[in-house]
Amino acid sequence: MRNILITGGAGFIGSHVVRLFVNNYSEYNIVNLDALTYAGNLENLKDIEALSNYTFIKGDICDYNFIKEVFAKYSIDAVIHLAAESHVDRSIKNPFAFAQTNIMGTLNLLEAAKNSWNNDFENKLFYHISTDEVYGSLGDKGLFTENTPYDPHSPYSASKASSDHFVRAFYDTYGLPIVISNCSNNYGSYQFPEKLIPLFINNICNNKPLPVYGKGENIRDWLFVNDHARAIDVIFHKGKLGETYNIGGFNEWKNIDLIKVLIKTVDKILGREEGASEKLISYVKDRAGHDYRYAIDSTKLKEELGWEPSLQFEEGIEKTVKWYLDNNAWVDNVTSGDYQKYYKEMYE
Ligand code: NAD
Ligand code: DAU
């Protein structure tokens, strides 16, 4: 048996990773540690919560003594670290929370792993999940490779860049066995509706304005979340220690074009006239420091570890829209209470 600590497993990507590992590896004990912030939701894992190789612990990665106890109690052999504050707009309003969780929380986990493993690093691994935003912003040409210099612009990406540096520093200084992956924008089920795709699907359904930042010309590179989880599985098992792997689907979209695809897909499923919801598009003030373009070169992951995305974007978007429409109760649950306050502060 291997005891694997997955942090942030009640969040969007984390819940897909936990589900994949619990279902596919009965020989692993999966310990999901999550603080259940606004972004964490145990409803995301209802289907696997009763399985015998799964344990949930509520707790904060910023509490070092607690993390130390978790390593000792569960004899943790490997960590897949996803817990983070993840929304750029929130980082602009409250950067402290991002430094606290993303930098100090990661440092706590590294220190707890180092001390618990006590130089016996055989079969141990600290896998840190990062983002393409650490590389900064591209012009119209070029792709981020694993050698692109870090150039973060938002408090969120600055905190993720800092955590990546700490992870590499623990490899160089203490020999802690680490691996890092930097992924592009994810979409799919269970994403909190503060991020573009679930927010806009929900607003189109409810005939609410669609707040497009600036001119809608920024470009993102979208990957279906299940493909990210599959990449994490491959890197966890086959990744080379000390290495970084970029994850992306070579799937760039200008925001406004993507929004039109969302409108078309939702309108079609709801039986509305084609393009009826385009009237909801509302151009609003741009995000401060808005990165123009992200685009990932994931050639290394394909050539060295054999991973490729499994899904075409059109298919992924249709599946995703259907999931949000079929899961009204989940959407209603996460958009009640504090979400309303957040929405007012951010958009009204
Ligand atoms: P999310 O916001 O949906 O989930 C984050 C999870 O972390 C939540 O369950 C939350 O409760 C938990 N958490 C937050 N603070 C915590 C703390 N102090 N202690 C313990 N748990 C805490 O985020 P996500 O979109 O699933 O992203 C997961 C990871 O993947 C993050 O590290 C993010 O930087 C990275 N990432 C995200 C994307 C994306 O498109 N969403 C792309 C690339 C990388
Ligand atoms: O690239 C990976 C990153 O992708 C992850 O590290 C982050 O955790 C994740 O949140 C995401 O960051 P973005 O800022 O790219 O995602 P977001 O969904 O917030 O925004 C996508 C684009 O849509 C961006 O150009 C801003 C724009 N946007 C977003 C919102 C929420 C709007 O125009 N209007 C909006 O209301």
Among 246, 251, 231, 236, residue whose Cα is nearest residue 300: 246
Identify whether 133 is a catalytic site residue: yes
The verdict on residue 325 lying in a domain is no
Closest ligand to the CA of 223: 1
| Cβ pair 158, 133 in contact under 8 A | no
CATH number, residue 21: 3.40.50.720
The verdict on residue 202 lying in a domain is no
Which of 34, 60, 77, 132 is the catalytic position? 132
How far are the Cα atoms of 29, 166, 329 from residue 20, in angstroms, in the given order? 13, 28, 23
The verdict on residue 206 lying in a domain is no
Beta strands in the chain (DSSP E): 2-7, 28-34, 54-58, 78-81, 125-131, 178-183, 185-187, 210-213, 219-224, 244-247, 252-254, 281-284
Q: Is the pLDDT of residue 83 over 90?
A: yes
Q: Is the pLDDT of residue 348 over 90?
A: no
The verdict on residue 346 lying in a domain is no
Q: Is the pLDDT of residue 1 over 90?
A: no
Closest ligand to the CA of 152: 2
Q: What is the pTM of this model?
A: 0.98
Query: Distance between CA 152 and CA 63 in Å, rounded?
Result: 27
Closest-CA residue, ligand 1 atom 29, reads 82
Q: Token digits for 107?
A: 């440092």
Report pLDDT digits (tens) over 187-205. 999 999 999 999 999 999 9
The verdict on residue 140 lying in a domain is yes
**Number of independent structural domains in the chain:** 1
Identify whether 54 is a catalytic site residue: no
Which of 34, 133, 221, 227 is the catalytic position? 133
The verdict on residue 256 lying in a domain is no
Contacts (Cβ under 8 Å, ≥6 apart) of 292: 137, 138, 139, 217, 218, 219
How far are the Cα atoms of 69, 147, 298 from residue 130, in angstroms, in the given order? 25, 15, 14
The verdict on residue 328 lying in a domain is no
Contacts (Cβ under 8 Å, ≥6 apart) of 212: 255, 256, 259, 281, 282, 283, 284
Among residues of the chain, what percentage have pLDDT more than 90? 98
Among 101, 87, 292, residue whose Cα is nearest residue 191: 87
Range of the domain at 122: 2-187+223-251+294-311
The verdict on residue 169 lying in a domain is yes
Ligand 2 in contact with 213 (CB < 6 A)? Answer: yes
